[in-house]
Chain A
């Protein structure tokens, strides 16, 4: 027969073990590291024009994706593309606007596509979208987790969603010799396979004379 004191000690022992067990087995809040955008010249695809360097790297590696986004986004047909822009012009400033970043799985007509594309078009095997439509993509990524949720899963889903938004590229003025970086997200159609082409178009607008500098990338995913 155990004494009252022994029983209390046993309960306390169980509580402490469960608490540490929870912490060590992953009940701690998910933490995702920041992605440091480096020199665009080091990106898988890069180009130099009018003193501006733009670099782009599709994030298709599962490990990398899990590390920075907490989930394999490719499973939900979303491709994150790391983008880095460096204005090396000594005097001119350029506007980087999300609406001027377009991703498509079809080759784009450089001169006419911008005004024709809605924020997200998806017909059959064709998909074209503007960066900044992250809301369209995030819901399917985290939706399943929330439906099945327990407290930890809800917390993880929120951290993943928050992280996608925080890492997204944003509207910015690139002053002389300044750089910026962020991710654009693209939902690939079901018919698209790994190894297919993806086309990225980035337009930068000169603040003083409204001239546009266009960068086109043909990427393999």
Chain B
């Protein structure tokens, strides 16, 4: 999709959004989950549907649906030495690409991207992929995530436990 001819002056042009997504992926790969959490707004939500084209997170179950409070709890647990499903820890490697701005308003955009995430843990490697949608807002000179939706390509497959945010 093509960008509007006038470059937006709110710091949310495609290049800035792409750089932000790459930064987010790097924080997750480096297990800097506290810093990742700081990317979200105070009333943000993070959603991984269990069905393709799932209409909402309220009437159908989700692989992950965290409001801000639960997202904080999730991130705090990721740091716990007693999180047995992370003993040993996962190592992850994410690729982000095909970044396009789908909707644009003043100081707020919806960005669509594609991702691949390799997860290695205890002799096994898994590959996840799909599309991510970020609602990004400009806030005090920085970019924040108001919501994030991750459409896993195999969201309705039988899956072993998921501990790593996408």
A binds B: no
Residues of B at under 8 Å CB distance from A?
A: none
Residues of A at under 8 Å CB distance from B?
A: none
